[in-house]
Amino acid sequence: MSEARTPAQIEADIARRRQDLAVTLDEIGVRVHPKTIVGDAKAKAAEAVDRTAGRAYVAANRAVSGVRAQFVSEEGVPRIERIVPVALLTVAAVGLLVVSTARRRRA
């Protein structure tokens, strides 16, 4: 069966358990300290911002690559047949905007 423990063994066991309890209470104290909670919240927020910024960068990079692919061939040669119409539309839109603004100023 079980051996009878001596008073010294019991005292040593109690001292060890007190030490373990003190360490646990110290850890709990650190975890619930306001500075620790604020630091954890800041770290989580920074991580979320970094993750969101990373996703935004990837999405923007894909969009730019997609647009670039429309105007530049895989060999890196500009696709004039696509660039000229877009350039003409852009010039026309800017021209209309300038004329419209000039008319408003005169009126």
Number of neighbouring beta carbons within 10 Å of residue 71 = 13
> Using N-to-C axis directions, what is the helix angle for 80-106 and 34-71, rounded to 10°?
110
Given a cut of 70, is residue 1 above it in pLDDT?
A: no
Cα–Cα distance for residue pair 104/22, rounded to 1 Å? 79
What is the residue extent of each domain of the chain?
A: 79-107
The predicted model scores a pTM of 0.48
User: What's the pLDDT tens digit per position in 23-68?
Assistant: 999 999 999 999 999 999 999 999 999 999 999 999 999 999 999 9
Enumerate the H helices of 1-107 as residue ranges: 7-31, 34-71, 80-106
Under DSSP, is residue 76 helix (H, G, I), strand (E, B) or coil? coil
Here the contacts of 12-16 (C-beta below 8 Å, separation 24 or greater) are none
Asked if 82 and 70 touch (Cβ cutoff 8 Å), the reply is yes
Kindly calculate the radius of gyration of the chain based on its CA atoms and give it in whole angstroms. Answer: 35
pLDDT in tens, 64-83: 999 999 999 989 899 999 99
pLDDT of 25 reads: 96
pLDDT band at 105 (very low <50, low <70, confident <90, very high): confident
